[in-house]
Structures are given as structure tokens and as C-alpha cells.
Amino acid sequence: MAEQHVVDAATTSSSYNLSGEQVWEGALGLLQKEIPAPSFNSIISPLWLVSLDEETCTVGVINSFLKDIVEARYLESISTAISKTLGRESIKTVLTVSSPPQIVEEVAAREPLKEEKREIFPPKNNQPIPCKKYTFENFVVGDSNKFAYSAALMVAEFPGQTYNPLFIYGGTGLGKTHLLYAIQDYAQTITPNIRVKYIQTSRFIDDFIATLTFKRDKEAFDRKYIDNKIVLFDDVQALSGTDATQAKFFDIFNLLHASESHIVLSSDRPPAEIPQLSDRIRSRFEGGLMIDIKPPDLETRLAILRKKADYEGVDIPDDALIYIASKVQDNIRTLEGFFHRVTAYAGLYSTKIDLNMVQSVLKDQLNESPGSKSPSVETIQNIVSGYYQISPSELTGKSRSRNLVQARQISMYLCRELTDETLMAIGLHFGGRDHSTVLHSCKKVESMIKQKSDIYRQVAELTNMINRSL
């Protein structure tokens, strides 16, 4: 049926001396110049021409969610672009949900036109973006995440209008935090004065407890959230079992929703599976749009690695990339970790990257047994303690001795790399430290691995010892 649509489009447009395909390509060229690249690639590019006659152009869209976005925001622009291509004053454009004429393997397949240089004013009264690599342009779109990508993009462009709240859930390391940061970055780019708030839910809890404990201004606490057009709550599963904080969260949620501010939430599981979550909060979460991100397929994992290689200017042959991509199936963070191990080794020892080198560098990190289990935090702590000849209590204690701090940081890094524990959970195993301390430690070790051969060797040896202990 889809093939017949394409034939109809080509035939009925012959009176304009243009085939249907030429009309559609011409219209896309015009649209690409006026619509920002992230929106064009994820919303406009997947559309296709179904039929065209003297009065009406019918455009295909893959699902009703995308149809709603196109109808609300881009239908007039599409109609104008088609009319200009045909050299006519106007033509009616309608959308239909159907199967595409061919499978589109990647939403962002179309090569974007070079944009004219334009000045972007820095956002005012906003948090700085923690890392500019977390943008829509750097997010690799595949079948497992394109629905979440499109929804996140819609929030950044048109906050507070539809599908509020947006609840994105999925396993560790699949790109949820990347999308939240991308919303913040893109919203502040296209609307410089917009107020956007990103917050780790664990930090929200900490701040609220501190407000109660030290009798701080409760209204000032509320204003940090309700004075924003978009509020991004990361890892909301942390609300589990926090009765007083849940009550405050519920109040702020309602104030934001009533003021048509957009609420975006991420979680490692759907609302129904978050334990000890109040029914009224669960109901609010489920009242918007819930989207899950699944593990990426091999093609998407390869695309992620190629993008990283291009971004960092690293030359890695395809067979080596395929080998890395085939060894990690359900965690993008682990995939990127393997990539960084390879590039760090190549940089430290001035070694050319090829398949044999990658296999050698990763042989101790890769676990070939599909049914094997991950190590526990306690196992990692015990092995690290023995390796550095210190006691487990010293490893998790408060001492700021240089040697102990380094061992503690490496241990935290290994816990993040080799277990599925959250940063907050890891911090609890290290004397109740905050998740931000764990994140700082991990980043510190990542930097040392790239710069110091002895640290790279120690981390590799410890990883091998931990894997052999399973």
C-alpha cells in the first residue's frame, strides 16, 4: 500500500512538470532553512508524501503523537513550502497516519544544511548548562529512543502546552539525563530569557530537609522551583519512602502544573514500580505522557561510538567499533567507558588502534558469560582495600590522607563502572557521602586514567581482580 502512495504522488503532480518526489524534496529544502536542525531532523524529516493533486497534498506521519505536533506547529509551514515549490498561491495540506513507504533506520539521516551564523544571547537568570556535550545534536537517535527524543524536543520548543508532565523512564545509562540537559540547553538557546531548572531529586530532598532542619525560608525554597517555565526532575525514584518530602513535592508539582510550567521527570522505572510512592503522586506522574527508553540496538550503539570518535578526533576502524558495540548491549555509559579505555591506552602508549589492540585492552574488562552477575559494592571495597593494603573502614572513612582519598575515589569509580547502583546508593556505602561527591570522584579518576599510566594500570588490574572474583 505504501508503494502505491508513492506512485500516486508522482503521477498526480505531473501537471506541474515536477514529480511528487521533486515537489517533496523542494519543500523539505525550504523547510530545512527555516526550522532549527533538531526539530527538522526529528519531526519533519520522517514525514513523507502520500499523494498530491491540484487542490490537496496528503503527507504521511508514522503515529498520532507526531501528527499532533506537526498539526499544531508545522502544518502551515509545510503547506507554504509545497505551494512555493509548485509556484502556486496555496494548496491544502492534510496529514494521515499510516506506514511509511520504507523503513527509516535513523530519524536524523538527512544531512542538514549549513546554518547561517547568528548571535545567540546567553541565557539570563538561569543555571549554567553543566556540559555542552549533552545537547540534542549530540544525542544519537535510534528506534529505542526516538519517541522520547521527539517528546523532549517538543517540551524545549513549546513548554507547558501539551503532554505535561513528561515522564521518561528506562535502565541505567540509556540517555535520560542527556535528554533533560538537552531540553535545558535548547530551550535557553531559542528563548534566551526562559527560566529552566534542572535538579537531581536527591538534591531536592537534601535541600528540603536542610530547609526544615535549619528553619530556612520555605517560600524561598518554593520559589526556586515555581518561578521557572520548565522544571526537570532527574531520578525521581529517589522519592521512594520520603513522606514529608513527597508532600512538599506534591505541592510544588501542583503549583507548577497550575501555572502551565512544564514538568519533566526521569526515573529508572515506571511510576507503578516505584516503592512507597504516594498514590496521589503516582497518579500525577501517570496523568501526562509516559515514555520508556529501551536498550539501543547494535546499529545505534555503533552510531554512538562513531559520533564519539568524530567528536574526539579519534581514528578507529569499523571492525574495532563493531567489536566494542557487540560487547555492551544495555548501558551506553559502559559502552562509552570501554571507548575511553581504548583511547586512553592508545594515548598513553602511542599505540595505533586496531581490532587486535582493542581486544587486548578490553579482555579483562569484558565478561563473556551472558548469565554472569555484577559484583557488589562490598566486593569492590574489599578488593580495593586489599590492593592498597588499607582497611575497609579507612576506605569509607573521613581521612583526607592523599593515598586514602585516591583509593576511595578509584573504588567509587569502579562501583559506578561495574555495578548498577545509583550515585546516591554508592555514596551511602562510602560513609553516607553525597551523590555529587561520588560523581566528582568518578570524573577525577577518568581524568587521571587518561593522564597517568600508573593509574590506568591500577584501575585495569583492579578491574581484572574484581571480574575474576565473580
- Domains of the chain from N-terminus onward: 2-97 (3.30.300.180), 146-293 (3.40.50.300), 298-362 (1.10.8.60), 377-468 (1.10.1750.10)
What residue type is 381 in one-letter code?
Answer: Q
pLDDT at 427 over 50: yes
Place of cell 528540603: 208
Mean pLDDT score, 9-19: 49
The secondary structure element, H or E, covering residue 226 is helix 218-226
Mean pLDDT score, 195-204: 91
Looking at 236-295, list the stretches that DSSP marks H as alpha helix, in order from N- to C-terminal side: 243-258, 279-286
pTM over 0.75: no
Mean pLDDT score, 5-19: 46
CA distances from 40 to 35, 90, 399 (A): 6, 22, 53
pLDDT at 119 over 50: no
CA distances from 245 to 20, 110, 210, 241 (A): 58, 46, 11, 9
Nearest Cα residue to 442 out of 405, 414, 421: 414
pLDDT band for position 328 (cuts 50, 70, 90) = confident
Mean pLDDT score, 276-296: 91
Q: How far apart are CA 110 and CA 127, in angstroms?
A: 33
- Report the 10 Å Cβ neighbour count for 16: 16
165 preceded by a cis bond (ω within 30 of 0): yes
Mean pLDDT score, 19-44: 81
Mean model confidence pLDDT for the chain: 81
What residue type is 410 in one-letter code?
Answer: I
Contact 77, 31 (CB under 8 A): yes
pLDDT band for position 65 (cuts 50, 70, 90) = low
pLDDT band for position 89 (cuts 50, 70, 90) = confident
pLDDT the model gives residue 286: 92
DSSP β-ladder status, 289-293 and 166-170:
parallel
pLDDT the model gives residue 370: 43
pLDDT band for position 296 (cuts 50, 70, 90) = confident
Give the long-range contacts of residues 36-40, CB within 8 A, separation 24 or more. 36/190, 37/112, 37/115, 37/137, 38/136, 38/137, 38/153, 38/186, 39/153, 39/157, 40/110, 40/112
pLDDT at 155 over 80: yes
pLDDT at 4 over 70: no
pLDDT the model gives residue 24: 87
Q: How far apart are CA 236 and CA 213, in angstroms?
A: 22
Instruction: Look at 190 and 372; give whichever has higher pLDDT.
Output: 190
pLDDT the model gives residue 97: 82
pLDDT at 19 over 90: no
pLDDT the model gives residue 191: 86
Mean pLDDT score, 79-87: 86
283 SS3 class: helix
pLDDT the model gives residue 127: 53
185-199, 306-320, 321-335 — most confident range: 185-199
**DSSP character at residue 400:** -
Mean pLDDT score, 367-389: 78
pLDDT the model gives residue 460: 80
pLDDT at 178 over 70: yes
Mean pLDDT score, 281-290: 92
33-47, 220-234, 344-358 — most confident range: 220-234
pLDDT the model gives residue 132: 67
Mean pLDDT score, 203-227: 86
Mean pLDDT score, 182-203: 91
pLDDT the model gives residue 325: 85
